Amino acid sequence: MPRVVVDVMPKPEILDPQGKAVLGALPRLGFSGVTDVRQGKRFELEVAHLDDAVLAEVEKMAETLLSNPVIENFTVRVEEQ
């Protein structure tokens, strides 16, 4: 079954407390080399079939349900199986 992936990330200008918490924890756990972390969401949607209408609908879902467009950006892409 075709799979569409929607990635939702906080906009660059928006503070990301979850990402900052991860970034702060890394040195305490002995990790170095990472200079920034942003945390977002990933949705995997299984669709019955794939065409432009379905992709347009997923785009609409991402905008209205899966993300908050005020503070988040999203990308929609088809995942090859």
Q: Does residue number 61 form part of the binding site for its own copies (CB under 8 A)?
A: yes
Q: Does residue number 47 form part of the binding site for its own copies (CB under 8 A)?
A: yes
d(CA 11, CA 56): 22
d(CA 74, CA 31): 29
Contact with its own copies (CB under 8 A): which of 60, 69, 71, 77? 60
Query: Nearer Cβ to its own copies, position 34 or 71?
Result: 34
Q: Does residue number 22 form part of the binding site for its own copies (CB under 8 A)?
A: yes
d(CA 55, CA 29): 41
Q: Does residue number 57 form part of the binding site for its own copies (CB under 8 A)?
A: yes
d(CA 76, CA 11): 16
| Radius of gyration, alpha carbons of the chain | 16
**Residues at the site binding its own copies, with contacts judged by CB under 8 A:** 1, 7-9, 19, 22, 25-26, 29, 31-49, 54, 57-58, 60-61, 64-66
